[in-house]
A and B are shown apart, each in its own frame.
Chain A
């Protein structure tokens, strides 16, 4: 029986820039930041409430798994913001919205009432979309 998810990947343009965004703007904690291969940086972050759920900030790079063409395709899909999305929870959507907006996080929609709670939508600095949800 599968119990829970422990790792998930978010593709980012640049690991340094993503780290700055997720750590310094969103307030995530760095779980692991280590070179695993000569040119392979294993960078994972987590929230304080879920220290055992690692979000992998992965750069599409040629060589390891993808050829140059695949990298370009993936980057272009990321840029369009259609690679996929995620949803984060908060206790205070409006407060967090103001806080993140002040830090320069780009919101696609401000907090609004939804059937399941209050929700705003923002983009990370690689073009990935996320919901910021305060559940009912």
Chain B
């Protein structure tokens, strides 16, 4: 039985089951994941799961999945080993078009622009004395 208070999921067992589904996304975000696959991990029917997940985490499982992918894409774009196209598939997107537009929506720049900005930032950072980098948390001590 799921208890709700002001739209919040408070039942511990439900939270644990939702947590399992979220961990599943954390681990398998780079695969094409369907709502069925994700809800299965929590042992809820898909629509019930969708409602509970949103109530608990303030976003849909799909939004959570996209955020994980974008987060990883930012990390990979910060390095220079992979081309933008490779990054797109590496983090689980199926098309460059949807990757680019979602990335733009979440980050505010196209992936290639983001990469360029990170490079410029890294370049600029080399001129900043360490005490400032640490003080302003741009690097850890």
Contacts and interface: CB of A to CB of B under 8 A. Distances in A.
Contact of B121 (A7, A36, A64): A36
A42 B128 contact: yes
Contacts of A7: 129, 132
Contacts of B135: 65
Contacts of B27: none
Contacts of B124: 32, 34-36, 42
Interface residues of B, number: 14
A40 B117 contact: no
A104 interface: no
Interface string B111-141: 0000001001101110111001001111000
Interface in A1-59: 6-7, 32, 34-38, 40, 42, 56
B138 A37 contact: yes
Given A7-B129, A42-B127, A42-B128, A35 B137 contact: no
B96 to A, nearest CB: 24
A36 B137 contact: no
Contact of A35 (B117, B127, B136): B117
B138 A35 contact: no
Nearest to A32: B127
Nearest to B118: A38
**Residue of A37, A38, A64 with most partner-chain B CB within 10 A:** A37
A6 B125 CA distance: 16
Interface of B: 117, 120-121, 123-125, 127-129, 132, 135-138
Given A7-B129, A32-B124, A38-B121, 16 more contacts: A34-B120, A34-B123, A35-B121, A35-B124, A36-B121, A36-B125, A36-B128, A37-B136, A40-B136, A40-B138, A42-B128, A42-B132, A56-B132, A64-B136, A64-B137, A65-B136
Ranked 7 nearest A-B pairs via Cβ: A34-B124, A64-B136, A36-B125, A36-B124, A37-B138, A65-B136, A64-B137
